[in-house]
Structure 1
Amino acid sequence: MDAQKRGYPMTTDDNKALVQRFYDEVINQKNLAALDQFVSPNAVNHTVPAGLPQGPSQFLGLHLNAFPDAKATVEDLLADGDKVIARVSFRGTHQGAFGSIHPRGKPITVMAINIFRITNGKMVEHWGLADRLNALQQLGVVPPPGQLS
């Protein structure tokens, strides 16, 4: 039983465990129905690019549809107070439309840093930075360095 269910404040270890379970259950098991266990209904994602779905289910659904074999590996988890920082590698094969990018069948690996603020056992804010340029280069959408014309 976690600290929140026992009526105690969440510890940094509890918060890190919540983030790890989020990646395991929602991303790796493709279980968007479990989002409510991890994300507050009023959560704010500060880094969703304009033109992409804003809700967590829609935003993650876009990624999981484009990369149905996606796997997230949590490389590092750091916590301080109510924030958890996750350094994560994502691997997957581009099999579905990703915005305006049609499926290319190419495998990619993308590194990301995500910061979550957690209150009462739920993610209430998110900031993230992913190496999107490298992802676009791996997909062949953007030429690699030295091949720009």
Structure 2
Amino acid sequence: MSTNLERFRAIVERGFSRGDLTVADEVCSETLIEHEYLSKADVPGPQILKAQIEDARHSIKDLQLTIEAIVESGDTVWARSKATGIDPRSGKPVTIDVMDICRFADGKLVEHWGVPDRFALLHQIGALPPPAKRM
């Protein structure tokens, strides 16, 4: 992996879609700063990403994360992805959008902001009431 775009794609394709945790050791700085809500922050960087991959794959069975739009600006990669799979509790298919901002330095992920659309997930599995009908 030689570019930040390739590093990000490896995280998505190998890590989240295939469950390959070794990608975290390859791309994460030990001092990764994590901004995603509810993510671990008190462990070394690769362990943060490994926990995120495991949590996502536990929350959505047969998880497939597909990059739909990606932009690189300087040391930062911005991406919008689509996560699909099955909710393991309800058995219902789910689809949510995920936004990521990843800052890299010296070939390693050093800072991450992630925003999975958890409200969409909760609506799809019936944990939240459906949105009000508009007139």
TM-score of the pair, normalised by structure 1:
0.78
Give the superposition deviation at 1:40: 1.4
**What's the CA shift for 1:69?**
0.4
Between the aligned partners of 2:116 and 2:56, the Cα distance in structure 1 is 13
Match for residue 71 of structure 1? Answer: 64
Q: Match for 2:113: what amino acid? A: W
What is the DSSP-based 3-state SS (H/G/I as helix, E as strand, rest coil) of the residue aligned with 2:61? coil
Q: Which of residues 7, 12, 24 in structure 2 aligns to 1:23?
A: 12
Aligned to 1:92: 85
Q: What is the match of residue 128 of structure 1?
A: 114
Could you list the runs of 5+ residues in structure 1 that have no partner in the other structure? 3-13, 96-102
Q: Structure 1 segments of 4 or more deviating over 4 A?
A: none
Match of 2:103 in 1: 117
8 Å Cα contact 2:19/2:53 also seen in 1: no
Which of 21, 26, 34 in structure 2 is aligned with 1:45? 34
Q: SS of the counterpart of 1:64?
A: helix
SS class of match (1:134)? helix
CA root-mean-square deviation: 1.7
- CA shift, 1:122, in A, is 1.2
Q: Percent identity?
A: 28
- Give the unaligned 5+ runs of structure 2: 42-47
The count of aligned residue pairs is 127
Larger strand proportion of the pair: 2
Q: CA deviation at 1:33?
A: 2.6
**Partner Cα distance (2:49, 2:20) in 1:** 12
Cα distance, 1:70 vs. partner?
A: 0.2
Q: Deviations over 1:59-91 (max 9, x none)?
A: 321111222300010001101111000110000
8 Å Cα contact 2:10-2:23 kept in structure 1: no
1:69-121 Cα offsets, whole Å, 9 max, x none, are 000100011011110001100001112xxxxxxx1111110001100001111
Aligned match of 1:81 in 35, 51, 74? 74
